[in-house]
């Protein structure tokens, strides 16, 4: 009987570096990769395109149930309006329930027969895959994360203002950490990395060392 896929959960707030790390780990390990935030962005995009209100739980849940794989490759998923709307729809229990099966199926049977899966999001280690072999939680100060997001937005041609980005980020953090269903928080057995003063290579080395230690101890 083949071994069960190795699941790596990478959680953290916006601009903590979790996406960069998760993609790099997946490539290095030969694992499948799922940016679960794209699921919520795609739901938000559907709601917005349908001229609905992202805060309308019923509308958001309908959009989540209608989500198709092709929606994850849609245009405009990284726009700031979609970013804020995604945080709103993610707080709805109906949306989370509709997307939970998709995420768990990906982890249980990674596409392409990959030996494992790396999923990044906000509640992978606590709610989606609580039995993940490796759980990582990345964090950084709001000021550092806002600075990163401003640089990212300006590279895309946006005239982003630091104060506004920081304010939006703090609002989103409060909503994500305070929601009743699967709030943003490290799992009890997660390895927490503060990336405030670290570059991407340093974060990757620390995360990979933890992965090696965890998976070796399981054998």
Strand (E) or helix (H) holding 140: none
Quick one: tokens of 139? 């964090």
String of DSSP letters for 150-180: HHHHHHTT----HHHHHHHHHHHHHHHHH-S
End-to-end Cα, the chain, rounded Å: 16
Helices (H), 57-141: 57-65, 80-90, 93-108
pLDDT tens digits along 127-142: 999 999 999 999 999 9
| d(C-alpha 202, C-alpha 39), whole Å | 28
For the chain, how long is the longest CA-to-CA vector?
A: 55
Spatial separation of the C-alpha atoms in residues 85 and 79, rounded to whole Å? 10
Question: What stretch of H or E contains 191?
Answer: strand 191-194
pTM as predicted? 0.85
Question: What are the Cα distances from residue 130, in Å, to 18, 116, 124, 156, 184?
Answer: 18, 15, 7, 35, 14
Structure confidence by residue, pLDDT tens digits, 9-36 = 999 999 999 999 999 999 999 999 999 9
Per-residue pLDDT tens digits of the chain, which is 219 residues long? 468 999 999 999 999 999 999 999 999 999 999 999 899 999 999 999 999 999 999 999 999 998 887 888 888 898 888 988 998 898 898 998 889 988 998 999 998 899 999 999 999 999 999 999 999 999 999 999 999 999 999 998 889 999 999 999 999 899 889 988 788 999 999 999 999 999 999 999 999 999 999 998 665
161-164 long-range contacts (CB < 8 A, ≥24 apart) are none
Query: What torsion do the CA atoms of 13, 19, 22, 23 make, to the nearest 10 degrees?
Result: 180
């Amino acid at each position: 009987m083949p071994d069960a896929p190795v699941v790596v959960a990478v959680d953290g707030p916006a601009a903590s570096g979790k996406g960069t790390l998760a993609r790099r780990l997946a490539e290095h390990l030969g694992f499948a990769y799922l940016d679960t935030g794209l699921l919520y962005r795609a739901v938000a995009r559907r709601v917005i395109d349908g001229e609905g209100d992202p805060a309308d739980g019923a509308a958001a849940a309908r959009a989540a149930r209608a989500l198709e794989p092709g929606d994850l490759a849609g245009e405009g998923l990284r726009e700031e309006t979609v970013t804020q709307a995604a945080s709103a729809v993610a707080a709805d229990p109906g949306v989370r329930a509709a997307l939970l099966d998709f995420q768990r199926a990906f982890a249980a049977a990674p596409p392409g027969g990959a030996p494992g899966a790396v999923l990044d999001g906000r509640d992978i280690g606590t709610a989606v895959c609580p039995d993940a072999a490796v759980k990582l939680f990345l964090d950084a100060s709001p000021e550092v994360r806002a600075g990163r997001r401003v640089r990212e937005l300006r590279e895309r041609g946006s005239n982003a203002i630091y104060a506004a980005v920081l304010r939006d980020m703090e609002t989103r953090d409060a909503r994500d950490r305070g929601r009743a269903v699967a709030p943003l928080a490290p799992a009890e057995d997660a390895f927490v990395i503060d990336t405030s003063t670290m570059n991407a290579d340093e974060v990757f080395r620390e995360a990979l060392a933890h992965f090696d230690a965890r998976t070796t101890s399981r054998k």
